[in-house]
Structure 1
Amino acid sequence: MKKVVLVAIIMIASLTAKAQSYVGFLTDNYSGVNGVISNPANIADSRFKTDINLVGASAFLANDYVGVGYSDLVSSDFDYDTDAILTLSDNNNFSGNVDVLGPSFMFNVGKKSSIAIFTRARTFVTGNEFNGESIDDLDESIDESQDFIVNEGDFYASGHGWAEVGLTYAQELMNNEEHFLKGGLSFKYLKGFGNAYVTGRNVTIDYDADGATLPNNSTIGTLTSTGDLIYGRADRYDGDDYDYEVPDANGFGFDLGFVYEWRPDYEDYVVTGADGEKTVMKDKNKYKLKFGLSLTDIGSVTYKGSLVDSYNINNTITQDDYDNIEDSEDLRNLYTFTQTADDLKAGLPTALHFNADWSINNSFYLNFNTDLSMRSAGENNLRTANVFSLTPRFESKWFSFYLPVSSYQYSGLQVGAGLRAGPLYIGSGSLISTFTKNEIQGADVYAGLKVPVYYGQPKDSDGDGIPNKEDGCPKKAGPIENNGCPWGDADGDSVLDNKDQCPDEAGPVENNGCPWIDSDGDTLLDNEDQCPDVAGPLENNGCPWADSDGDSVFDKDDECPNEMGTVANNGCPEPEVTAEVQKSLNEYAKTILFTTGKSTLKDESTPVLVDIIRILNEYPNANFTIEGHTDSIGSVATNQKLSESRAQAVLQFLIDGGILPSRLTAIGYGESKPIATNMYKDGRQKNRRVEINLAQ
């Protein structure tokens, strides 16, 4: 069977491809329309006004079966049998593609939505669960006439080529400044170009070098096999005349994706126009962390009228039969063969993609990406190889550089490099490892041309943060609240109008540009008036004099400012006329002498009366009565008149000495109030007296 089945399996397994496209480039925020390949949400809120991809191609090779050094591979004397390094197991796999992105473009619809239309041609091969140990040893064992048993079991191999015309719609779903979410959906029309698959079920092969005896008694090897081989393909896929016709094959597919961005410095990317409207900078990446999740290649292509050949290989053939197998007709003669016409459904290589991107600063990023196959191994199933990539990159508007480090499910660790320079993108996910590893199990390359039309930063000639088209004074910096114009100084007082509370009237800076006024009308301007709302004298800095004790005597004149007093007593409380004072007054009064029988004061009484005036002045609010008394010598009427005259004489002396008349009252009692007997001279002398008493 080496002519048709086994040799074909060996050839496919020895040249396999990995199914990821444009490694490194798709992590770039400037990948543009190419970004729909990994996540259709990428084109929303992009850095492009529009992006046109002219052509791009990506091809990947990787496997877990055979490896070779780069120097051996490019050598003119390369020999597969001696130079190839085989990694054999009972479960060797492969998966690969060639991906051509044709003319495609994206553009924005309003501020929140974007649309892309893309064309794409893809070729994909995949194989799973081959027993590499058995396949490698089988041919050698037959050639060397050695017994050999192959326990292949189940295996699967398929290839598919198709074209896509896709429409992508992406939109912002949430934007609350710090948190941003967008989503996208791609709908794809699929046109199949060809599909074929080989499936083995419970396949075993037992080679016995001496299994049969010929008539001449010599022996020949026999090949005993069991199981089933199934070969399905589009009807026009392998015509004998090689005149290829496009099969009747169509289908639909879609991709779905979401991207979340954490934007802690959102305000740094907001431009406020002169009208106050805020606009987010389209030309800047605004996130610190970005996470993407997408599911791609959901769908299938149906090939009408395809053929499915089934071979039951439960038979024993000789080595000559094996050596003479040239095509499928020979197989049909050796094994039970059936053929059916049916519609084949070729599923797309559905995969789940997760992407995390860390913005270290405005130019350097670190990206983690993983692609996981959502298809299990099976008949006519296309299955991607799982991959995990860590890609540091430098990124700017016109240039980016990538260094992807990837771990592939089938080919191990690979290190690559790539760049984007304006319209050109080129790179390889395995460039560095290809030249540095002794064993290459995978290699890839991509390149393409596009016409990018980036968003530009709004022109701001004066650097005031307001774009020229919204700036009232585009050549002079000014605040947004003044329409982008600098503040003026209409009254020339050096206080700008935005801070001048009297913009049309000059005033000092310390009074916010207003002239000083005299609010309380005390002739002292408010800037010098310590009590600008209450009138007060200049000598007290414009404040009224205080009267702490409320006695109507200002503190400055009050000799007792914290104790209520009288005006007459300079703000101090009046002293009380005590009994001792009263007694002292009357002691003085007893010594007042008059001319006998008259009311004339004797000169020697003057010092006494002066002392009495001094005492009365100590009590300025006290009123006194001056009482005149006589003895009983003479008539009552005469004594009465004499007492009144003498009291009046004393009153007049006191008034002349400065005592207010209103404080004094003179009254005569004659002989009516004696204080001793009039029978004796001594008693009569005591009764002849003047008393000064506190008025009640």
Structure 2
Amino acid sequence: MKRICLSLLVLATYQGFAQQSFSGLRTSVYGGTLTPISNPANVLGARPWDANLISVDADMGNNTMGFSPNLTKSLEDFSKGLNNVIDANIKADILGPSFLYRINKKHAVGLFSRARAMASVDGVDAKMLQAFLSAKNLELPTNPSDYYKVKSINDMNLLVNAFMEIGATYAYTLYNDGYNLMRVGATLKYVQGSGSFRMGFSGINSDNVTLRRENGDVIMHVGNGYAEVRSGGLNVINDGSLGDLFKSEASTVGLDLGFVYEYSQDGCPNCDGHIPYDFKVGVSLLDLGRLKYKTNKNSFTYTLHNQDINLENMQDSFDKMSDALKRTQEGESFASSLPTTLNINLDYRFIEGVYLNLSSQFNVVKKNEYNARYANDFVLTPRWENNTFGAYLPMSINSVSKFNVGTAVRLGPLFFGSRSILTNLIAKNNAKELNFFFGIRFGGAFE
């Protein structure tokens, strides 16, 4: 239990809520197979066909810890003198083999494969987190009158969601007079849930929760309340493995919907290919759907009354509790929503190849114990690009990791970048996010 939770929490310390993937590229004119993940109507874009081999985006950040390129030092500095409440998580987004094809100027289709994983920690007391990350450096009193009181215990929540999907996209041109163009698109996808895991507390008076050191271990004492450990698929409590992320524990049908409007001042009524626009607006609703899991044998609700929990070995502490203090949840079901978002994209072309893009993402999923969700996120990206080369400068802001600046480059079929690297290099300890992405994709372009 200690090893698994430590791994999760170390990773979770590197994020807030999940942010937009492939910033700058996903809204690019020449983004190809990356663009339908922000709006399915983008399948009808500047490329008559496009294929993706592999694209990966990993995003990490939080509301407390500063990131520099030296992650080891960042973690050491983070483990010293924490006194606040932390929101954190990690997101990994992998776009697998995917393909899009433009049938004609009115119709286009696409096929894609994708996998995502999200692990979040909400409202965790910094001293508790430090007990997992670096217990030997945590100073705690041994005198009962001086025990450390844990903050916001009822708000603490550890949540992990992982799912894979394959889908088909269709886009259609509703109207095109050469100057004004309107398109709609939809993606229907089969979503396979690898699992959902949640651990948290409820009904606990914060004055009755303390931390102390005993025989070298960090002990959390709870006066009264409940602790829930619920697992559907992911085997986090015992020794789980990466293979758990590729199992199918639930399935559903998901849906993406999108609309795009483009305006071209010069126009081209008889053009059959891509018409360079001066201004573009896109609106999309992504990841509609939810997964329903059955809890496994490692799921319990624990009634806590003057209970000591060893944070060095939580599973051992739970195992030693009387059967009268725990209620199994095996066989019960619970629902986990897909991370549904409303996306609005504005793109303006100054001169040939030079654009300014504003991409926004709004979470529309109710915040509860089990739902996967993205953060409200805004990304402003100046860019210069053509068919074979692109340079991007994404500047993002969100409620958790605040303001970050990154950069990205596209060289033929290869692209790589980060939405935070410039902030990491310049601001260092004030940079609360760490992101990188890369991929290989290739395709044709209209002449």
TM-score (normalised: structure 1):
0.56
Equivalence for 1:436:
426
1:418 and 2:408 are equivalent in the alignment? yes
For the Cα contact (< 8 Å) 1:258–1:293, is it kept in 2? yes
- Larger strand share, 1 or 2: 2
1:333 and 2:320 are equivalent in the alignment? yes
Q: Per the alignment, do residues 249 and 111 of structure 1 end up closer, same or farther by CA in structure 2, a change over 3 Å counting? A: same
Equivalence for 1:63:
62
Structure 1 residues without counterparts, runs of 5 or longer: 212-220, 271-278, 457-696
**Distance in 2 between residues matched to 1:349 and 1:425, nearest whole Å:** 26
Offset from partner CA, 1:55-105 (integer Å, 9 cap, x none): 11111111113224334x36xxx3844465777544x32243111111110
Equivalence for 1:314:
305
Q: Residue 185 of structure 1 aligns to a residue in which SS?
A: strand
Q: Per the alignment, do residues 147 and 255 of structure 1 end up closer, same or farther by CA in structure 2, a change over 3 Å counting? A: same
Tell me the amino acid that sits aligned with residue 116 of structure 1. Answer: G
Equivalence for 2:226:
228
Counterpart selection for 2:110 from 108, 116, 121: 116
**Distance in 2 between residues matched to 1:86 and 1:27, nearest whole Å:** 41
Q: Residue 41 of structure 1 aligns to a residue in which SS?
A: helix
Tell me the amino acid that sits aligned with residue 299 of structure 1. Answer: G
**Distance in 1 between residues matched to 2:258 and 2:158, nearest whole Å:** 29
Offset from partner CA, 1:377-402 (integer Å, 9 cap, x none): 21111121221111100021211110
Structure 2 residues without counterparts, runs of 5 or longer: none
Tell me the amino acid that sits aligned with residue 202 of structure 1. Answer: G
Equivalence for 2:36:
36
Equivalence for 2:97:
103
For the Cα contact (< 8 Å) 2:38–2:284, is it kept in 1? yes
The 5 A counterparts of 1:293-692 are: 293-304=283-294, 306-307=296-297, 308-317=299-308, 322-323=309-310, 326-334=313-321, 336-341=325-330, 342-439=332-429, 440-456=431-447
Q: Per the alignment, do residues 450 and 327 of structure 1 end up closer, same or farther by CA in structure 2, a change over 3 Å counting? A: same
Offset from partner CA, 1:77-135 (integer Å, 9 cap, x none): x3844465777544x32243111111110112332011110011111122333344675
Q: Residue 331 of structure 1 aligns to a residue in which SS?
A: helix
Equivalence for 2:119:
125
**Distance in 2 between residues matched to 1:4 and 1:309, nearest whole Å:** 20
1:48 and 2:47 are equivalent in the alignment? yes
Deviation at 1:284, TM superposition (A): 3.9
Offset from partner CA, 1:531-584 (integer Å, 9 cap, x none): xxxxxxxxxxxxxxxxxxxxxxxxxxxxxxxxxxxxxxxxxxxxxxxxxxxxxx
Tell me the amino acid that sits aligned with residue 343 of structure 1. Answer: S
Q: Per the alignment, do residues 27 and 454 of structure 1 end up closer, same or farther by CA in structure 2, a change over 3 Å counting? A: same
Relative contact order (alpha carbons < 8 A, sep ≥ 6): 1 or 2 greater? Answer: 2
**Distance in 2 between residues matched to 1:222 and 1:114, nearest whole Å:** 58
Tell me the amino acid that sits aligned with residue 148 of structure 1. Answer: Y
Q: Per the alignment, do residues 99 and 135 of structure 1 end up closer, same or farther by CA in structure 2, a change over 3 Å counting? A: closer
**Distance in 2 between residues matched to 1:209 and 1:187, nearest whole Å:** 52
For the Cα contact (< 8 Å) 2:264–2:279, is it kept in 1? yes
**Distance in 2 between residues matched to 1:20 and 1:209, nearest whole Å:** 40
Q: Which has the larger radius of gyration?
A: 1
**Distance in 2 between residues matched to 1:373 and 1:340, nearest whole Å:** 30
**Distance in 2 between residues matched to 1:122 and 1:222, nearest whole Å:** 33
For the Cα contact (< 8 Å) 2:377–2:398, is it kept in 1? yes
Q: Residue 150 of structure 2 aligns to a residue in which SS?
A: strand
Q: Residue 330 of structure 1 aligns to a residue in which SS?
A: helix
For the Cα contact (< 8 Å) 1:251–1:299, is it kept in 2? yes
Equivalence for 2:210:
207
**Distance in 2 between residues matched to 1:410 and 1:62, nearest whole Å:** 8
Q: Residue 111 of structure 2 aligns to a residue in which SS?
A: strand
**Distance in 2 between residues matched to 1:210 and 1:448, nearest whole Å:** 47
Tell me the amino acid that sits aligned with residue 340 of structure 1. Answer: Q
Q: Per the alignment, do residues 222 and 454 of structure 1 end up closer, same or farther by CA in structure 2, a change over 3 Å counting? A: closer
**Distance in 2 between residues matched to 1:121 and 1:452, nearest whole Å:** 22
For the Cα contact (< 8 Å) 1:178–1:264, is it kept in 2? yes
**Distance in 2 between residues matched to 1:312 and 1:9, nearest whole Å:** 25
For the Cα contact (< 8 Å) 1:247–1:303, is it kept in 2? no
Identity %: 25
Equivalence for 2:273:
282
Tell me the amino acid that sits aligned with residue 39 of structure 1. Answer: N
Offset from partner CA, 1:233-287 (integer Å, 9 cap, x none): 1256258675756243211211111111122221xx34xxxxxxxx2151441x2
Equivalence for 1:175:
176
**Distance in 1 between residues matched to 2:314 and 2:446, nearest whole Å:** 60
TM-score (normalised: structure 2):
0.85
Aligned length: 425
**Distance in 1 between residues matched to 2:19 and 2:405, nearest whole Å:** 17
Q: Per the alignment, do residues 395 and 420 of structure 1 end up closer, same or farther by CA in structure 2, a change over 3 Å counting? A: same
Q: Residue 313 of structure 2 aligns to a residue in which SS?
A: coil
Deviation at 1:436, TM superposition (A): 0.9
